[in-house]
Structure 1
Amino acid sequence: MNLAAPHPSARWVGERLGVHVEGPPGTDGLTVHDLLGLALRRNPKRAHLLVSHVLGKHVPTDPRLVRAAGLRLGARVAELLGVPDAPVLDAPTWRAALAGDERATAAVDAVVRRPPARPDALVIGYAETATGLGHTVADALGCAGLHSTRRAVPEAIDYAGFEEEHSHASGHQLLPCEPAVLAALADPDAPVVLVDDELSTGRTVANTLRVLHARAPHRHYVVAGLVDVRSAADHDRLVDLAEELGTRIDVVSLTQGRVELPADVLARGTALVADAAPVLPGAGRPGDVVPVAVDWPAGVPTTGRFGTAPEHAEPLAGADLVRHLLPEVHAAGSVLVLGSEELLHAPLAVAVQLAERHPGEVRFSSTTRSPVLAVDDPGYAVRSSVAFVSHDPVLDGPGIRYAHNATRAGGWDAIVLVLDSASTPADLHAPDGVLAALAPLTSRLLLVTLPADSWRSSP
């Protein structure tokens, strides 16, 4: 194991809780130290939070790197499924890109945009964190995709539900209606790829596999994550599950390692969090919010909530998503494109196009359900947090949502919030809503509303 040079943003938690992450070089020579920092959850079930620097969820990141990490993971899955000629990069180029080097970012982006193909597979991403990652892996494989959801969709038929035991919001549902997804679910020879940002214990994966296999058995499942930090016992449990179900289960990741946790980590973490005041929605005003149109391609879903077909990727790749947005940010030196909970892939597509055509700095992140302790220290992964009331329909009802690391010295010249038409306008514009929370962080607040996907009872 490689014990040297943990990511600087892991120091604070390591010193106070004795939590350490270690691991050997993995894909392209990357290690867990390259990709992860540490924070503390406000969650009695688990103290620590692994904070990815390539996911675009809790840390504003160059959107081209977010896409590159997903495509690179997709290439690893393709290798496992027998597709040759996966892209190969070197760790110094990745590290330079992660440090903000534009030339290195362009190099990474150019190499990984040569995706392999395995159109007979089905990718399932996990809500909310890995919806965009799963969609990008499906793009890399050129196959159908789906993600679990917590959105309330009264007309939909629940194909399967399962639990994410350690999560702040544990219930997931699968609501497929896309014919390509339904066909893959029914085909025992179609490889099913489960995508999560991190594989920490494998319990959520095991819960999902049991439900899916009971509904429609498959001969081959692949579990894919940016990082795999499961223990030896967790590895063995998945091996035993494959034997129990009479199927094949493979695991692939960009990096592997382990998390060292003291026996009293939960008690110590709870005490640290209890000493800090929670971040709560304020009572502000949105100010001047500029609505901006996006020419979203007709017939292309904005999420994988109900499924996506392989052919959906082509019109999206050819669409000019930022034609109306570029004039609104032309004078902005720094732009944050902010997705909304499960809505990650579509905002990422907007952010990537903006990064390719806007001369200033463009970063991508998303709002989240996850309550995290914010500590303004360079040795900590979540240095700021703003809170607001939710604005879309979900199974467990209204709640508090967050934007982590969206605050920065001097503010952003522009923030582009991307959400869908299922959002409730009154909640968006409320004094404790997301627009009021973001307004103090930027000189110019832009709002992009994409069409919400609809569940269809027939093709």
Structure 2
Amino acid sequence: MSSPQRPWPGSWVASRLGVRLSDGQRPVGAGLADLVGLAVRRNPRRAHLLVSEVLGKHVPTDPRLVYGAGLLLGELVRARLRQEEPTPPDGLLVDALRRVPGAAAGLRDLLRAPQVPVEAFVLGYAETATALGHSVADALGDAYYLHSTRRPVKGFATYGGFEEEHSHATSHLLLPADPAALDRDVPVVLVDDELSTGRTVLNTIEALHTVRPRSRYVVAALVDLRGPADRARMEALADRLGTRIDAVALAAGHVDLPEDVLEAGQTLVTELTARSAPQEPESTFDVTRVELEWPAGLPDGGRHGFLPAHRERLEKDLPRMADVLASGLGEGASRVLVLGFEELMYAPLRLAEALADARPDLDVRYSTTTRSPVLAVDDPGYAIRTRLTFPAHDDPADGPGERYAYNVSSASDQIILVVDDAGDTPALADGLLRRLQALAPILLATVPARRRP
């Protein structure tokens, strides 16, 4: 279970909706309740949300734990591809989850030590798994990385698409700058934060296999919740396509749901939403722009492809950019949140990690904004304590709509907001920035979104 110093952040939902987690395999020593809490979705198709303790999406988290957990998942992929028994760091992940001092950095440091490179094509799922997929690719060492996107970009042709059936926004695009990089018969690794039924990855594998048949696929997730029928469906697809499909996860098990959970969940959403009217924030803190001097030509992430050479270049510049951020912090800052922006998760994660290394006197946390609508309940046994709501600010292809930042509060005495230049708009200033200004001083760092030359 979670740290004894705090209740499990799923107990509120478990007691009211009857949702239960049951553990299966624990290949790295952590169980489901170590890795996830629970919240209630504002979505009529699914009542509950598993809220990851290591993803850095909804919960501000030590960035070294987020990156270390991703590298650990990558090591499970490496072992499967090399047909080796995995040797996970003994107890370090559980210690990091329990906030044992030094455990998160120790996990990350151990896993980023040089290993024998493994060639692969790694695909991460937008929006939640974009940085997780990056981390898996980093662990493999010789992987071409691409993440799906919901943002069409002029000049980049669509390679393929697929559907995420339970999602609130189902259209995904693959927009590689170099489509030939996807056409090699190397192992394809598909990375998501959770496997519920596996339908999304099966749709992806079938779509990719139609364009270019491959002999090996590995599905990687933080948690694997598939039942026997779901696993049989994956085996049947592998047989039909004449390929091999494996799956690895940090923990496995299943979620037990009462029959009336959808109705009960929507009733809760209706009741609690009616009680809480959003308050208009008053802008009290300053926004200061900081120039990172992002390396020219370096992609901001994997939307159009990210190579090992890109990662090597980023590693060289991270300490310098962390120093830039550190120099912009206000005097007396001690609790710093680095907040990323929807699909832009990897660059903010690595910047947060480098800042934590450069300034060990700071408590650095990392999370990102999201499209996903979730109910907030200010209770220590609930995973989503607070919610900031603001309009989309990057001119999304599917039109305007609400966006959210969860568990972002005045507990941070400095917020570093990292966006790409496509999202650095007047709508950002009038929306998210105004909400954040009511909480803490803001450093705004912009990285260049990749464009066709």
Q: Which bin holds the TM-score, normalised by the shorter protein?
A: over 0.9
Deviations 1:368-425 (A, max 9, x none): 00110001111111111111111113221121111101125xx311000000111242
Aligned 8 A contact 1:222 1:249 in 2 = yes
More displaced stretch, 203-212 vs 108-117 = 108-117
Aligned 8 A contact 1:87 1:114 in 2 = no
Which residue does 1:305 correspond to in 2?
A: 303
Letter in 2 for 1:169: A
Distance 2:96 2:417 in 1: 25
Letter in 2 for 1:239: E
Which residue does 2:45 correspond to in 1?
A: 45
More displaced stretch, 29-38 vs 292-301 = 292-301
More displaced stretch, 95-104 vs 124-133 = 95-104
Aligned 8 A contact 1:87 1:111 in 2 = no
SS in 1 for 2:219: strand
Report the CA distance between 1:106 and its aligned residue.
2.7
Unaligned runs of 5+ in 2: none
Letter in 1 for 2:335: S
More displaced stretch, 265-274 vs 281-290 = 281-290
Letter in 2 for 1:300: L
Distance 1:242 1:85 in 2: 23
User: Using a 3 Å threshold, how does the CA distance of structure 1 residues 420 and 286 change in structure 2: closer, same or farther?
Assistant: farther
Distance 2:298 2:388 in 1: 32
Which residue does 2:250 correspond to in 1?
A: 254
Which of 418, 426, 439 aligns to 2:437? It is 439
**Identity value in percent:** 50
Distance 1:115 1:267 in 2: 50
Aligned 8 A contact 1:201 1:234 in 2 = yes
Aligned 8 A contact 2:189 2:219 in 1 = yes
More displaced stretch, 104-113 vs 201-210 = 104-113
Distance 1:446 1:296 in 2: 16
1:131 and 2:127 matched:
no
SS in 2 for 1:362: strand
1:360-439 matches, cutoff 5 A: 360-408=362-410, 411-430=411-430, 433-439=431-437
SS in 1 for 2:119: coil
With structure 2 as the length reference, what TM-score do the two structures score?
0.93
Distance 1:123 1:314 in 2: 17
Distance 2:66 2:177 in 1: 28
More displaced stretch, 347-356 vs 292-301 = 292-301
Letter in 1 for 2:61: T
User: Using a 3 Å threshold, how does the CA distance of structure 1 residues 89 and 119 change in structure 2: closer, same or farther?
Assistant: closer
1:108 and 2:110 matched:
no
Which residue does 2:357 correspond to in 1?
A: 356
Letter in 2 for 1:260: D
Aligned 8 A contact 2:378 2:384 in 1 = yes
Aligned 8 A contact 1:7 1:34 in 2 = no
Distance 1:280 1:150 in 2: 28
Letter in 2 for 1:219: S
Distance 2:382 2:254 in 1: 19
SS in 2 for 1:29: coil
Which residue does 1:335 correspond to in 2?
A: 336
1:452 and 2:449 matched:
yes
More displaced stretch, 302-311 vs 78-87 = 78-87
Distance 2:155 2:279 in 1: 32
User: Using a 3 Å threshold, how does the CA distance of structure 1 residues 454 and 84 change in structure 2: closer, same or farther?
Assistant: farther
1:96 and 2:98 matched:
no
Report the CA distance between 1:281 and its aligned residue.
8.6
Distance 2:199 2:154 in 1: 28
Distance 1:406 1:429 in 2: 17
User: Using a 3 Å threshold, how does the CA distance of structure 1 residues 97 and 300 change in structure 2: closer, same or farther?
Assistant: same
Letter in 2 for 1:212: L
Letter in 2 for 1:208: T
Which of 225, 242, 251 aligns to 1:229? It is 225
Letter in 2 for 1:34: D
Distance 1:452 1:184 in 2: 21
Report the CA distance between 1:88 and its aligned residue.
2.5
More displaced stretch, 129-138 vs 147-156 = 147-156
SS in 2 for 1:64: helix
Which residue does 1:216 correspond to in 2?
A: 212
Aligned 8 A contact 1:22 1:258 in 2 = yes
Which residue does 1:168 correspond to in 2?
A: 168
Report the CA distance between 1:210 and its aligned residue.
1.4
Distance 1:404 1:46 in 2: 19
User: Using a 3 Å threshold, how does the CA distance of structure 1 residues 281 and 125 change in structure 2: closer, same or farther?
Assistant: farther
Distance 1:212 1:117 in 2: 27
Letter in 2 for 1:148: S
Report the CA distance between 1:247 and its aligned residue.
1.1
Deviations 1:185-222 (A, max 9, x none): 2122x000000000111111111111111111111111
More displaced stretch, 145-154 vs 106-115 = 106-115
Report the CA distance between 1:276 and its aligned residue.
2.1
SS in 2 for 1:121: strand
User: Using a 3 Å threshold, how does the CA distance of structure 1 residues 117 and 96 change in structure 2: closer, same or farther?
Assistant: same
Which residue does 1:289 correspond to in 2?
A: 287
Report the CA distance between 1:117 and its aligned residue.
4.2
Aligned length: 443
Aligned 8 A contact 2:163 2:170 in 1 = yes
Distance 2:98 2:233 in 1: 37
Deviations 1:343-366 (A, max 9, x none): 000001100011111111000000
With structure 1 as the length reference, what TM-score do the two structures score?
0.92
Aligned 8 A contact 2:163 2:171 in 1 = yes
SS in 2 for 1:108: helix
Q: Which runs of 4+ in 1 moved over 3 A?
A: 83-87, 115-119, 278-287
Distance 1:378 1:302 in 2: 35
